[in-house]
Structure 1
Amino acid sequence: MPELPDVEGFRKVLTSCAKGRIIQRVDVRDTGVLHGVSTRSLRDALEGRRFTEPERHGKWLLARTGGPTLLLHFGMTGRLVCSRPDDAVEAHDRVLFTLSRDRQLRFRDQRKLQGLWLAHDESEVAALLERQGPDALAVSREEFETALSARRGSLKTALTDQSVLAGLGNLLADEILWRAGLHPASRASDLTEPDRRRLYTHMRRALRSAVTAGCVPPRDSWLTGHRDDPAPACPRCGTSLRRSRMAGRGTVWCPQCQ
């Protein structure tokens, strides 16, 4: 599933492919990815507009136009692709934004679990994002500690709850908790101040590295580099990793380090 680093990568695709360019044509090949807007309304709102500087909040991408804002959420399998209009259209290309004779932005998504929304003004943008917590890459340490201390559930559940902190998914949460030496089932409200500070520091470091990579990288020195091994072992101490499910998510941790 795309997490904050992936969506930050999609923001860069949107910037390099479409920023400053006029949307000449919008082709909706599958209305199943549109939420609260029809094909005609989407075309009327966007055609002739120019993409400006895009923004990201958590796992949401905001494609600004100086007027209406297109909001994209990528679900499990969504992505943005910069193509040429004459490139073969793939089966999962759901919406095409033609920008010039040689430039086309494509929303590609196999499972269609999320999709596209249109906000006509900032109040509609705010309404769509009202359940989102602070962005994990921008949150201050004070905001982070306050958000966690108010939670009663498990630490893993708190980190992946988008209303608490926007942007972290399953892979990042496991990676950050492993780095911080904290068990995913521990209660968020039971963390000490040093625990919360250590967790925040490791979150920031993991996010910076992952954003640079454009994904949560499966590096040998990372937990994510070993979670899918046939016999996964901790890259720090060599102990066999444990697996379980928490809040419906596959969770991996080291019983020695955490």
Structure 2
Amino acid sequence: MPELPDVEGFRRVLAEHTGEPIVSVSVHDAGVLRGVTARRLDAALRGHRFGEPRRHGKWLLVPAGGPVVLLHFGMTGSLSWHSTGEQGHRHDRVTWRLPDGELRYRDMRKLHGIRLVDDEEQADRRLADLGPDACEVSRRDLGELLSGRRGRLKPTLTDQSVLAGLGNLLADEICWRARISPLRVAGGLDDAEITGLHRAMRSVLRASVRAGRVPPRATWLTGARDEPESPCPRCGTPLSGRRVSGRRTVWCRTCQPA
């Protein structure tokens, strides 16, 4: 599932090809288009050049000489660079052809997709309901975001209107690093716990952004969570798991007491 680090990786891929003219736009499956037709997408972008892309949470915003492309990767999306003529994949949905290769938007489940707006102002309005980007939140900001919230910590951290960019893997990893149960009430954390949570979030995000994903390392919760009856990488206690607000949640009852 693409989360903030994955989308930052997609941003880097696209950033390597800014300034190159868009030769054509091929829509192989219009099921990923949101509020724009294949013909309009091609007409609006053909001959334009992608400007410097920016990321907010799990969204990628790409200016193109006036219009702005908004990309969201849902649960199975990706953006990758390919040489011209390289065989396509059956889940390639949209291809932007540039002079020396192609950018391909690939998505199996098509839960979100691609939008087109007229300018940067419209792009900002489209994302106005998002909370601040998780990479840019200070310790003070985090405390204010959590203050007074009665819901559990895990659903609060993954609520994009509260904090943009965190998904299932990141939220569980951050809570595990901070030794805080994901089942705790978000607004019930004390100052020391908020400091620890913020420190864990910064550490996990830095490492994950470098890796372009939440890395499944042996010393990380992510490296153990998918194995049956896995022990906690820190203390050896069998990991606990249950669905919280519809999401599979994994934690250690010893390291993260409720």
The answer (yes or no) to whether the contact 2:56–2:164 under 8 Å persists in 1 is yes
- Report the equivalent of 1:78: 77
C-alpha displacement of 1:123: 2.8
Between the aligned partners of 2:88 and 2:251, the Cα distance in structure 1 is: 41
Hey, what does 1:97 align to over in structure 2? Answer: 96
Give the CA deviation at 1:90. Answer: 1.5
Kindly provide the CA deviation profile for residues 139-161 of structure 1, in whole angstroms up to 9, marking residues without a partner as x: 22222111111421000010000
Q: Which residue of 2 aligns with 1:6?
A: 6
Match of 2:32 in 1: 33
The TM-score, its normalising length taken from structure 2, stands at 0.97
What count of residue pairs does the alignment treat as equivalent?
256
Partner-residue secondary structure (3-state), 1:137:
helix
Contact 2:63 2:120 in 1 (8 A): no
- Tell me which amino acid in the other structure corresponds to 1:205: S
Q: Deviations over 1:76-134 (max 9, x none)?
A: 1100110122111211111010011x311010111111110011122311222112100
Aligned to 1:215: 213
**SS of alignment partner, residue 6 of structure 2:** helix
Normalised TM-score (structure 1): 0.97
Residue of structure 2 aligned with 1:107, choices 100, 105, 108? 105
SS in 2 for 1:208: helix
Matches within 5 A, 1:40-189: 40-100=39-99, 102-189=100-187
The residue identity in structure 1 corresponding to 2:250 is V
Separation in 1, partners of 2:142, 2:40: 39
User: Moved runs in structure 1, 4+ residues, more than 6 A?
Assistant: none
Counterpart code for 2:108: Q
SS of the residue corresponding to residue 106 of structure 1 reads: strand
- Checking the alignment, whether the CA contact within 8 Å between 2:61 and 2:71 is kept in structure 1 is yes
Structure 1 gaps, min length 5: none
What RMSD in Å do the two structures reach over aligned CA positions? 0.9
Q: Which moved more, 1:85-94 or 1:239-248?
A: 85-94
Counterpart code for 1:56: R
User: Helix, strand or coil for the counterpart of 2:95?
Assistant: strand
How far has the Cα of 1:66 moved from its partner? 3.1
1:67: how far off? 1.1
Measured in 1, the distance between the counterparts of 2:45 and 2:138 equals: 35
Give, in angstroms, the shift of residue 170 of structure 1. 0.4
CA distance in structure 2 between the partners assigned to 1:20 and 1:56 by the alignment: 18
Q: 2:58, 2:165 within 8 Å by CA — same for their partners in 1? A: yes
String of CA shifts for 1:187-227, please: whole Å, max 9, x gaps: 01111111111101110000000000110001011011100
Q: Which residue of 2 aligns with 1:19?
A: 18
1-side partners of 2:95 and 2:249: how far apart? 36
Query: Which ranges in structure 2 are unaligned for 5 or more consecutive residues?
Result: none
Percent identity between matched residues is 55
Once residues 123 and 52 of structure 1 are traced to their aligned partners in structure 2, the CA distance between those partners, rounded to angstroms, is 15
Aligned-pair CA distance for 1:164: 0.4
Q: 1:228 and 1:48 mapped to 2: Cα distance?
A: 46
CA drift of 1:23 comes to 0.6
Q: Distance in 2 between matches of 1:244 and 1:79?
A: 28
Q: For 1:9 and 1:122, locate their aligned partners in 2 and report how far apart those are by CA, in whole Å.
A: 22
Paired residues for 1:199-238 under 5 Å: 199-238=197-236
